[in-house]
Structure 1
Amino acid sequence: MKHSARRLAATVAALLVSAIPAAAAAESTGVTLAWGTFRPYTPRAVAVTHDPVLVPPGAGASVLAISSPNSTVVTISVRHLVPHRDYGAHVHTRPCGPDPAGSGPHFQHRPDPRQPSVDPAYANPRNEIWLDFSTDEFGNATARATVNWTFTTRPARAVVIHEHHTHTGAGHAGTAGGRLACVNARFR
């Protein structure tokens, strides 16, 4: 257990060093850091697996978000998922729950009046935070998204890992298949 905690601490430290340019750190308006080991839902779980085959219990994730006055950088790092596999990931509006749909829709800077949003004018990587990744031979991956806006008073409470990379075409924009797992993160 101590070895896993050290590895996680090293991963978080690496994320911090790689994601915080000196200028951004000096003018930061919000920092979010969350990490956990995937397990079935409990009210206190940080990382929840809804599909133990594709996101096995014991796998882990860390999320780091840094907002400066005019932009936000979000990074996710995962470990011990299925090797050589594509996943989608997005920031969602509600925290993880026992039901995969409980984490709500994608957070959108400019909300689509029609939900679920599949209109590319709203469901796109400039208006949402898309963190698609492909795992290596060990099931590890890191993804980063940068947007030219910051989180507002509207809630953004989790990163959801999806079944495959995100679609961009009309009628399917923003979709990435089933919700496999969720990491609670209170974005600011």
Structure 2
Amino acid sequence: MTGTVRGVLAAVGVLGVIGVIAGPVAAAQNAGPKQPPGVPRGEVAIPVAGESDVATSNGPLRALAPHGPFERGRAVVVMVSQGARTTVRLKVTGVGRTAAGRTFGAHLHTGPCVAGDGAAAGPHYNTDVFNGRKPVRVDREREIWLDFTVSPSGAAKASTAVPFAPKPGDRSIVIHEHATDHHGTAGARLACLPLTWN
């Protein structure tokens, strides 16, 4: 993947700010006081294998439904693939206080994130569909599910790891109105964040 090194450094900076990788950060901090080359003082280098691909997105959520709790929300997503394994971490902030305590479904979708047009995001990214496997199975090992529960402060975090690497494309993380059920259904599309995977 071109730009992998730049992507890794960008991911390190984002993760250092939002603190969503506790394990690798702690491991890196315990490795010793020497600061690796190219990593700014005060930030932590997260070891990533040479064959890793990294994608990040950070910014305001795009509303897909009017007057929803995510109109002023922001999100950060970091996706790291190492071989056939992908880890995805999501943090959402600025959610309306009326949503505190509610759980929302969030998934990687196949299409782009377009404000006001939930259909543009397409269906969930499903590795069985992309690889032509039948019957298509829908579960958290073949799709990327990032359900989260909103705190009283209007923030939430989610993470998952799946045994596949998504194929390149302009994707989106879509937030739905309900928690994901065992069929992968989570209701209406409320907001999205663009994520390009090269």
TM-score, normalization by structure 2: 0.71
Q: How far did 1:20 drift? A: 5.1
What displacement does 1:28 show?
Answer: 4.7
- Whether 1:89 and 2:103 are equivalent positions in the alignment is no
Moved more, 96-105 or 49-58: 49-58
Distance 1:55 1:12 in 2: 27
Q: Name the amino acid aligned to 1:31.
A: V
Aligned mate of 1:108, from 113, 126, 130:
126
Q: How far apart in 1 are the matches of 2:84 and 2:184? A: 23
Label 1:55 to 1:11 Cα distance change in 2 as closer, same or farther (>3 A): farther
Query: How far apart, CA to CA, are the structure 2 residues paired with 1:84 and 1:66?
Result: 29
Q: Which amino acid aligns with 2:143?
A: E
* Matches of 1:149 and 1:56, distance apart in 2: 29
Q: How many pairs are equivalent? A: 161
- Taking a change above 3 Å as real, the CA distance of residues 19 and 184 of structure 1, as seen in their structure-2 partners, is farther
- CA-based RMSD of the aligned residues comes to 2.7
| Equivalent residues of 1:89, 1:161 under 8 A apart | yes
Q: Deviations over 1:133-168 (max 9, x none)?
A: 101111211000100111224x36110000111110
The aligned residue for residue 68 of structure 2 is 54
Gaps of 5+ in 1: 1-8, 38-46, 114-118
Q: Deviations along 1:57-115, whole A, 9 cap, x unmatched?
A: 322111110000120001110012122111000000010123111100000111189xx
> Secondary structure of the residue that 2:88 maps to in structure 1?
strand
Q: Which of 178, 181, 186 is the aligned partner of 2:191? A: 181
Match of 1:30 in 2: 53
Structure 2 vs 1, CA of residues 89 and 12 (structure 1 numbering), >3 Å: closer, same or farther? farther
2:151 to 136, 143, 152: 136
* Counterparts in 2 of 1:15 and 1:148: CA distance versus 1, 3 Å: farther
- DSSP-derived class of the 1:138 partner: coil
Cα displacement (A) at 1:187: 2.5
Partner of 2:33: none
Cα 1:56–1:133 change in 2 (3 A) is closer
**Is contact 2:20-2:91 (8 Å) kept?**
no
Q: Which residue of 1 is the match for residue 91 of structure 2? A: 77
**TM-score, length-scaled by structure 1:** 0.74
1:14 aligns to 2:18 (yes or no): yes
Q: Pick the aligned partner of 1:162 from 169, 176, 179.
A: 176
1:24 Cα offset (Å): 5.9
CA distance in 1, matches of 2:57, 2:23: 14
The counterpart of 1:64, out of the listed 78, 85, 92, is 78
- Identity of matched residues, %: 31
